[in-house]
Amino acid sequence: MQKQLTKGILFLITLCMIGSAAACSGEPANKTKSDNHKAEEKLIEDRQELTKLQQYSSDPDIKKGKDEDFDLIGTLKKDAEKEMTLNIDDQLVKVPKSSGMEVEGSQLKDMINKEVEAEIDAAKQEATSIELTPKAKADKNGVYEQDGDERKIVGVFIEESNKHITVKVPNGKKTYQKSTDFEKEEKGSLKEKTVYLEINSANEVESIEKEDRE
């Protein structure tokens, strides 16, 4: 009887040891599965975060699915130490600023309530530079950049003939004669589109280009 009792106790002890070993061996597997699941969730969250600002961009490369630096265009509404707020298509968008963000052509405080273009680092999701758009820089004649008698003009396309191009600027309609080496790469109608003209020293238009957003 005692031998049978001893064997029974030994059998129970063996079962307990096997059960403990199984429990111990199962814990790392469950933990590994949990860690893998968390890692996958983190990758999804990171990807969502990386596309946060891209959704507000009208940059053609972004629309083509390219994962690279891009532009954001909107009205600068607020500037803080580490971020700024842009109004993009009636949405207020907070944009982090890089520590070395470049402000081109003006001071940031003078850009408030004006249209700006910010260059965004796609990986870090922060602005690396900011400047006024040609529209915001332009004077009443549409001139946003000038070098001697050569000018760059932004305006709304009105009409085109074999020899002339007419655009609308704040001062009214302006008609320019085409130069002999006039270039136009745009296809389709430019009617009522925002365009950029390069004007030479002879007051002739050398090229016309449609704004990317349009």
- 3-class DSSP state for residue 108? helix
**Can you tell me the distance from the alpha carbon of 125 to that of 147, in angstroms, rounded to the nearest whole number?**
35
pTM score above 0.75? no
pLDDT at 9 over 90: no
Q: Looking at residue 187, what is its pLDDT?
A: 75
Tokens of 42: 């983190």
Model confidence at 31, in pLDDT bands (50, 70, 90)? Answer: low
What's the pLDDT score for residue 170? 96
Of 80, 115, 75, 87, residue with least CA distance to 101: 80
Segments of the chain assigned to CATH 2.40.50.320:
51-131
CATH number for the region 51-131 comes to 2.40.50.320
**pLDDT tens readout for residues 154-202:** 999 999 999 999 999 999 999 999 999 999 877 778 999 999 999 999 9
Query: Do the strands 172-184 and 204-210 form a parallel or antiparallel pair, or are they unpaired?
Result: parallel
Of the candidates 214, 183, 185, 213, the one whose C-alpha atom is nearest the C-alpha of residue 198 is: 183
- What are 49-90's pLDDT values in tens digits? 445 899 999 877 676 556 689 999 999 999 999 999 999 999
Distance CA 135, CA 212 (A): 13
Tell me if 94 sits within 8 A of 118, measured CB to CB.
Answer: no
- The per-residue pLDDT for 59 is 77
Please give the distance of CA 102 from its chain centroid, rounded to a whole number: 16
Q: Provide the β-strand partners of residue 86.
A: 76, 93
Across residues 28-57, what is the average pLDDT? 62
* pLDDT for residue 23 is more than 50: no
pLDDT score of 42: 52
Report the candidate in 158, 152, 162, 210 with the shortest Cα–Cα distance to residue 182.
162
Cα–Cα distance between 177 and 108 in angstroms, integer? 38
Collapsed DSSP state (helix, strand, coil) of residue 83: strand
Say if residue 210's pLDDT is above 50: yes
Predicted pLDDT at 106: 80
Question: How much is the average pLDDT of 136-146?
Answer: 96
Residue 126 clears pLDDT 50, i.e. is over it: yes
134-208 belongs to CATH 3.30.1380: no
Q: To 10 degrees, the CA torsion angle through 31, 37, 43, 47?
A: -160
Query: 């600002």: which residue's tokens?
Result: 53
pLDDT tens readout for residues 81-123: 999 999 999 999 999 999 999 999 888 999 999 999 999 999 9
**What is the sign of the dihedral through the CA atoms of 191, 193, 198 and 202?**
positive
More confident residue, 13 or 206: 206
